[in-house]
Structure 1
């Protein structure tokens, strides 16, 4: 693909450095980035050389390389860009290694949503659920792990009784060709924090790398659960049992998700 520094969305991307402290564990580091790649591989999200992640850390944007085994990525293999100066700070020593083809999708999502992190998985559950559901969205309600999902409209976590809705788009021959379909999701579903790609996988984005990791874990669990529910003829959405919260202040959550771990 062409040099990422010429990408229009990257060139329009602006980072708010006054929000550096909203990660409990601090900004993303190259060490943590590569450790997460290994973890995601072990979870079955990034087998082979598939899957990718992009994270903003201070004034820099880190993006995983293309066509490298994720469990073997070294710190020097991660592409790093200076967002303010629109320059490439680091690239792998091997000049044949290119930045992930998802990079243009990451910059679009970050620019449009203000997200600091985007994770793209190829999990089996994300692939299979899109083949079982023939509509253009996945929906599930009344599950505990829904409380692990951030609501960008309220700045809080979703409630147990809320319905989580994730748009589904059709797959394309390459990730970069998903640019316009994902732009359509961002335009038509401003509350979305994820998108499923049929026969392919999942993209999740959030205000911090920690929240994005948590949401990806929760969503993958819900997708796996949904497959078993469908096999047992259990409805994914409980239409007749919606609840109203009398005291919303008790449900307030920070962008850090410090008080929202499922129990």
Structure 2
């Protein structure tokens, strides 16, 4: 099987991921070496570069990535091991043909919101300006981000993410775990992730203020 990608393109896109990782690490989005990042190198057949398991994302280098296939198996001899969550990245690339980069981070707000809204099965957000960062431009636009259970069985988790994802809304939440967001390239995926995280923070603050207002009204 032939994988058509140039070495210089691989290095360039991985460097973009390294830069994004440093930015996210500064925000505290990679606690305790959690999270993983990938960029697609070839669509047919699928090949992508993904962060190796257990690496400190704050200090990533281009040497902390390995190239894997659609089954998350390394395509080159390496001592690096992909995270089990690499299967989630593969599922996104299979289900969303124009996805070129995939980012998975664990933050307090995406964990809190995913748990608070889990029984609804999704997080609904409407009317926020940052929805436009997802290339959704309708007036008073509404989006719904699916939430799946945090299954320990990663193949089951990946399959469920594939079943619920909406290509128009480039993210899925995993309850009490994190978010997986994607875009056509690293720049777009980063923009989408930052927009989602801002909207989750905003929603949490709104819910907190509403709760405080109700409590005050009951006094």
TM-score of the pair, normalised by structure 2: 0.80
Shift, 1:132, TM fit: 2.0
- The alignment status of 1:99 with 2:82, answered yes or no, reads yes
Shift, 1:34, TM fit: 1.8
Give yes or no for contact 1:45–1:122 (8 Å, CA) kept in 2: yes
C-alpha change, 1:197 and 1:81, in structure 2 (3 Å) is: closer
Match of 1:36 among 14, 20, 42: 20
Corresponding residue SS for 2:102: strand
- The alignment status of 1:222 with 2:205, answered yes or no, reads no
Match of 1:74 among 53, 58, 61: 61
Shift, 1:183, TM fit: 2.1
* Runs of 5+ consecutive residues of structure 2 not aligned to the other structure: 212-219
Q: How many residues align?
A: 200
Give yes or no for contact 1:80–1:90 (8 Å, CA) kept in 2: no
Question: Could you tell me how far apart the structure 2 residues matched to 1:73 and 1:174 are?
Answer: 27
Question: Could you tell me how far apart the structure 2 residues matched to 1:28 and 1:109 are?
Answer: 22
The farther-off stretch of 224-233 and 125-134 is 125-134
Give yes or no for contact 1:82–1:89 (8 Å, CA) kept in 2: no
Give yes or no for contact 1:171–1:197 (8 Å, CA) kept in 2: yes
Q: Cα RMSD between the aligned structures? A: 2.8
2:214 is aligned to none
Larger fraction in helix? 2
Question: Could you tell me how far apart the structure 1 residues matched to 2:137 and 2:153 are?
Answer: 33
1:136 is aligned to 121
C-alpha change, 1:125 and 1:194, in structure 2 (3 Å) is: same
The CA deviation string for residues 137-172 of structure 1, in whole angstroms up to 9 with x for no partner, is: 10111111111113xxxxxx3435110110111112
Question: Could you tell me how far apart the structure 1 residues matched to 2:95 and 2:159 are?
Answer: 13
TM-score of the pair, normalised by structure 1: 0.67
The farther-off stretch of 107-116 and 213-222 is 107-116
The CA deviation string for residues 58-109 of structure 1, in whole angstroms up to 9 with x for no partner, is: 67521011111111222111112478xx972474xxx2x4112221111111
